[in-house]
Amino acid sequence: MGETPQSNPAPKRRTSGALRGLYTLLRLGVLALIAVVISGAVFALVRPVEAERLWIAFQRHIRMEFASFGMTLPGTPDLADFSGRLAAHGLALGNPIFMRIFKREFELELWMMRDGRFHRFATYPICKWSGELGPKLREGDRQAPEGFYTVDQGALNPNSAWHRSFNLGYPNTFDQSHGRTGSFLMVHGGCGSIGCYAMTDPVIDEIWRIVTAALRGGQARFQVQVFPFRMTERNLGRHEGSPLAPFWSNLKTGYDLFEAGNIPPRVSVCDRHYAFEAGQAGYDGSGIVAAGCPGARSVAPSP
């Protein structure tokens, strides 16, 4: 009989070596990812404002990529089930409305009135806003406004270059008292912005439908509150050293009044500051933001 053929162990050794190399690379990749995450967390703790700025830039890039491919932004409500969503909230077209915008979170909230108070109907992702956190100061600074605004029928533009739009009304009485300049600061469709809030065309179509129904239904104007971020103590604390801290603290008073009872405050401008009075049940936020010192009451609406 001939000799029994001997198996060649070399290929197995080569295969085992390749697997070990792949495993090593995988471990290095995991360790690198962990290092990036830890470094990012440390950076956010040590330099929170810079980390926030990077986060905003990242969000802008991602959202514009979605829009460029015609993709729906994450977090967009089911626009095809508009009637079903209304019914689920016990709401109807023509009810008075109220809006809040949060820059850092890239969100626009739309609230509708039911039983004398406002109920959040939808939170829409903002595709793009331009500039940094902080108010608009002058024409051409590319900043998107922050503050308290009201929008009436005359502010609507159904033939906008950005599909549909409504003008926030910047500069309002507060802005004018500080010498701020600029014009045509809008909420509109598309995903481009030079001081505006771009919502994409499908989203602005739904917003437009609700807005026009409310104004036709008898609401003289609706209030829009625009904030740099959700006005929590933690978020304000992150910016306690900012020159804008007093301005943002002033905005927080109006924010808190709405949070207390889901009723917009009455807003005026006293001594170049926003002044607030708690709105009572049934108030739709249609009061104009005008000069006056009503003896602002920072108290919650009665239940």
Cβ contacts of residue 12 below 8 Å, gap of 6+? none
Whether 270 is catalytic: no
Tokens of 257: 């009044």
d(CA 215, CA 96): 8
d(CA 255, CA 262): 10
For 36-159, where are the E strands, in sequence order? 97-102, 107-114, 117-125, 128-129, 147-152, 156-157
> Which one is catalytic: 127, 163, 188, 239?
188
Q: How far is CA 183 from the centre of its chain?
A: 21
Whether 119 is catalytic: no
Cβ contacts of residue 112 below 8 Å, gap of 6+? 89, 91, 95, 96, 97, 98, 118, 119, 121, 210, 214
Inter-residue long-range contacts of 172-179, CB under 8 Å, 24+ positions, other chains counted: 172/147, 172/148, 172/269, 172/289, 173/269, 173/289, 173/290, 173/291, 174/147, 174/148, 174/269, 174/272, 174/273, 174/274, 174/289, 175/135, 175/136, 175/145, 175/147, 177/269, 177/272, 177/291, 178/272
**Residue 120: what are its φ and ψ, rounded to 5°?**
-70, 120
Rounded to 5°, angle at Cα 143 from 142 and 149: 130
> Which one is catalytic: 163, 191, 196, 239?
196
- Cite the active site residues: 188, 196
